[in-house]
Chain A
Amino acid sequence: MFFYLIRRLIYAIPIALAVGFVCFMLVQIAPGDPINAIVPPDAPQDVVDQVRRDYGLDKPLPVQFGIWLLKVVQGDLGRSLATGRPVWSDLQSAIGNTLTLAATASLLGFILGCVLGGLAGTFRGSILDRAAVTIAVAGVSVPHYWLGMVLVVIFSVQYNWLPAMGAGPGGSADWAWDWEHMQHLVLPSITLAVIPMGIVTRTVRGIVAEIMNQEFVVALRGKGLTGWGVFLHVVKNAAPNVLAVLGLQLGYLMGGSILVETVFSWPGTGLLLNSAIFQRDLPVLQGTILVLSLFFVALNLLVDIVQTALDPRIKRA
Chain B
Amino acid sequence: MSTTTAAEAELAVQARQAAQTSDGYWKGVFKRVRRDKVTMFCAFILFCMLLAIIFAPVIAPHDPFQGSMIRRLRPIGTPNHLLGTDELGRDILTRLLYGGRLSWFMGIVPVAMAFVIGTFLGVLAGFAGGKVNMLIMRVTDVFYAFPSVLLAVAISGALGAGILNAILALTLVFVPPIIRVAESVTQGVRNLDFVDAARASGAGAFTVVRVHVLGNVLGPIFIYATSLISVCMILASGLSFLGLGTRPPEAEWGLMLNTLRTAIYVQPWVAVLPGACIFVTSICFNLVSDGLRQAMDVKG
* A-B complex is real: yes
Q: Which residues of A contact B (CB under 8 A)?
A: 14-16, 18-19, 22-23, 26-27, 29-31, 137-138, 140-143, 145-147, 149-150, 152-153, 157-158, 251-252, 254-256, 258-259, 262-263, 273-274, 276-278, 280, 282, 285, 289, 292-293, 296-297, 300
Assembly CA distance A259 to B254 (angstroms): 11
User: Are B150 and A256 in touch, CB under 8 angstroms?
Assistant: yes
Which A residues are in CB contact (< 8 Å) with B150? 255-256, 258, 289, 292-293, 296
Assembly CA distance A255 to B235 (angstroms): 13
- Beta-carbon contacts of B94-138 to A below 8 Å, as 1s and 0s? 000000000000000000000000000000000000000000001
How many chain B residues have a CB neighbour from A under 8 Å? 45
**What's the least CB distance linking B279 to chain A, in Å?**
5
Assembly CA distance A31 to B158 (angstroms): 8
Among candidates B155, B160, B275, residue contacting A150 with C-beta atoms closer than 8 Å: B275
Q: Which secondary structure dominates chain B's binding surface?
A: helix
User: Are B157 and A276 in touch, CB under 8 angstroms?
Assistant: yes
Among candidates A280, A285, A297, residue contacting B145 with C-beta atoms closer than 8 Å: A297
Which A residues are in CB contact (< 8 Å) with B241? 145, 259, 262
Among candidates B157, B265, B272, B282, residue contacting A277 with C-beta atoms closer than 8 Å: B157
User: Are B279 and A142 in touch, CB under 8 angstroms?
Assistant: yes
Which B residues are in CB contact (< 8 Å) with A145? 238, 241, 257, 275
Instruction: Please tell me if B153 contacts chain A, counting CB pairs below 8 Å.
Output: yes
Assembly CA distance A314 to B223 (angstroms): 29
Assembly CA distance A110 to B172 (angstroms): 29
The answer to whether residues A277 and B238 also contact, given A153-B264, A157-B265, A252-B147 and a CB cut-off of 8 A, is no
User: Are A146 and B142 in touch, CB under 8 angstroms?
Assistant: no
Residue on B with the closest CB to A294?
B145
19 additional contacts (CB under 8 A) given A14-B138, A137-B283, A137-B286: A16-B145, A22-B146, A26-B157, A29-B159, A141-B234, A141-B283, A146-B279, A149-B275, A152-B264, A153-B264, A153-B269, A157-B264, A252-B148, A262-B241, A276-B157, A277-B244, A289-B154, A293-B146, A296-B147
Assembly CA distance A296 to B147 (angstroms): 7
Residue on A with the closest CB to B273?
A146
Among candidates B234, B243, B254, B268, residue contacting A158 with C-beta atoms closer than 8 Å: B268
Residue on A with the closest CB to B160?
A31
Instruction: Please tell me if B271 contacts chain A, counting CB pairs below 8 Å.
Output: yes
Residue on B with the closest CB to A28?
B158
Interface residues in B231-245 (C-beta closer than 8 Å to A):
234, 237-238, 241-244
Which A residues are in CB contact (< 8 Å) with B279? 141-143, 146
The answer to whether residues A30 and B158 also contact, given A274-B242, A277-B242 and a CB cut-off of 8 A, is yes
Residue on B with the closest CB to A251?
B147
Assembly CA distance A185 to B276 (angstroms): 24
Residue on A with the closest CB to B285?
A141
Assembly CA distance A293 to B147 (angstroms): 7
Assembly CA distance A263 to B264 (angstroms): 11
Instruction: Please tell me if B76 contacts chain A, counting CB pairs below 8 Å.
Output: no
User: Are A143 and B234 in touch, CB under 8 angstroms?
Assistant: yes
The 7 closest A-B pairs by CB, nearest first: A146-B275, A255-B147, A255-B150, A256-B149, A141-B283, A153-B268, A18-B142
Assembly CA distance A297 to B147 (angstroms): 10
Assembly CA distance A255 to B155 (angstroms): 14
Assembly CA distance A27 to B276 (angstroms): 36
Residue on B with the closest CB to A158?
B268
Assembly CA distance A158 to B264 (angstroms): 11
Which A residues are in CB contact (< 8 Å) with B272? 146, 149-150, 153
Which A residues are in CB contact (< 8 Å) with B238? 143, 145, 259
Assembly CA distance A274 to B290 (angstroms): 34
The answer to whether residues A143 and B269 also contact, given A15-B141, A18-B145, A262-B242 and a CB cut-off of 8 A, is no
Instruction: Please tell me if B186 contacts chain A, counting CB pairs below 8 Å.
Output: no
Assembly CA distance A297 to B264 (angstroms): 38
Which A residues are in CB contact (< 8 Å) with B244? 277
Q: List, sorted by A's number, 5 A–B pairs whose CB atoms are closer than 8 Å.
A: A19-B146, A143-B275, A146-B274, A157-B268, A296-B150
Assembly CA distance A31 to B162 (angstroms): 12
**What's the least CB distance linking B27 to chain A, in Å?**
28
Assembly CA distance A262 to B254 (angstroms): 13
Instruction: Please tell me if B198 contacts chain A, counting CB pairs below 8 Å.
Output: no
Which B residues are in CB contact (< 8 Å) with A138? 283
Residue on B with the closest CB to A17?
B142
Assembly CA distance A141 to B138 (angstroms): 30
Which B residues are in CB contact (< 8 Å) with A22? 142-143, 146
Which B residues are in CB contact (< 8 Å) with A137? 283, 286-287, 290
Assembly CA distance A253 to B145 (angstroms): 14
Instruction: Please tell me if B278 contacts chain A, counting CB pairs below 8 Å.
Output: yes
Which B residues are in CB contact (< 8 Å) with A285? 154, 157-158
Assembly CA distance A140 to B227 (angstroms): 11
**What's the least CB distance linking B198 to chain A, in Å?**
33
Assembly CA distance A192 to B229 (angstroms): 21
User: Are B142 and A15 in touch, CB under 8 angstroms?
Assistant: yes
Instruction: Please tell me if B62 contacts chain A, counting CB pairs below 8 Å.
Output: no
Instruction: Please tell me if B71 contacts chain A, counting CB pairs below 8 Å.
Output: no
Which A residues are in CB contact (< 8 Å) with B269? 153
Instruction: Please tell me if B246 contacts chain A, counting CB pairs below 8 Å.
Output: no
User: Are B243 and A278 in touch, CB under 8 angstroms?
Assistant: yes
Instruction: Please tell me if B261 contacts chain A, counting CB pairs below 8 Å.
Output: yes
